[in-house]
Structure 1
Amino acid sequence: MVFTQSSPSDVIATRLTLDEYRAMEETNPERHEYRNGEVITMSGGSEAHSAIASNLLIYLGFLLRDSDFRLYNSDLRVWIPEYQCGTYTDLMVVNGEPELNGIRNDEILNPILIVEVLSPSTEAYDRGDKFRKYRSLTSFCEYLLVSQTEPYIEQYHNFDRNSNDRWLWQVHSNLKQTIVLHSLNVEIPMTEIYRRINF
Structure 2
Amino acid sequence: MISTISRRYSLDEYRAIEEKAEGRSEYRDGEIVPMPGGTLKHSRIGGNIFAFLKFLLRDTQFEPINSDLRLWIPEHRRGVYPDVMVFDGEPQLNGDVYDKPQERLRLDEVLNPVLIVEVLSPSTADCDRLSKFRMYRSIGSFREYLLVEQDEPFVERYSKQAEGWLLNDFSSLEVSISLDSVNIELPMAEIYRGVVFE
Larger Rg: 2
Give the Cα separation in 1 of the matches to 2:137 and 2:53.
Answer: 22
Q: CA deviation at 1:159?
A: 2.6
Pick the aligned partner of 2:89 from 57, 76, 96.
96
Aligned to 2:72: 79
Give the Cα separation in 2 of the matches to 1:34 and 1:66.
Answer: 34
- Give the gaps of 5 or more residues in structure 2: 96-104
| TM-score after normalising by structure 1 | 0.90
Q: Is 2:181 aligned against 1:183?
A: yes
Aligned residue type for 1:14? R
Identity %: 55
Please give the root-mean-square deviation of Cα atoms over the aligned residues, in Å.
1.3
1:79-103 deviations in whole A, cap 9, x for unaligned? 0000011100000000001111011
Aligned to 2:47: 54
- Give the gaps of 5 or more residues in structure 1: 1-10
Alignment of 1:1-199 (within 5 A): 13-102=6-95, 103-160=105-162, 166-199=164-197
Aligned residue type for 1:190? M
Aligned residue type for 2:181? S
Structure 2 counterpart SS, 1:19: helix
Change (3 A) 1:23 1:151: same
Aligned residue type for 1:145? L
| TM-score after normalising by structure 2 | 0.91
Aligned residue type for 1:101? N
Structure 2 counterpart SS, 1:59: helix
Give the Cα separation in 2 of the matches to 1:134 and 1:13.
Answer: 26
Q: CA deviation at 1:137?
A: 0.2
Structure 1 counterpart SS, 2:94: coil
| Count of aligned pairs | 185
1:93-135 deviations in whole A, cap 9, x for unaligned? 0000111101101111000000000011111100000000000
Give the Cα separation in 1 of the matches to 2:49 and 2:6.
Answer: 34
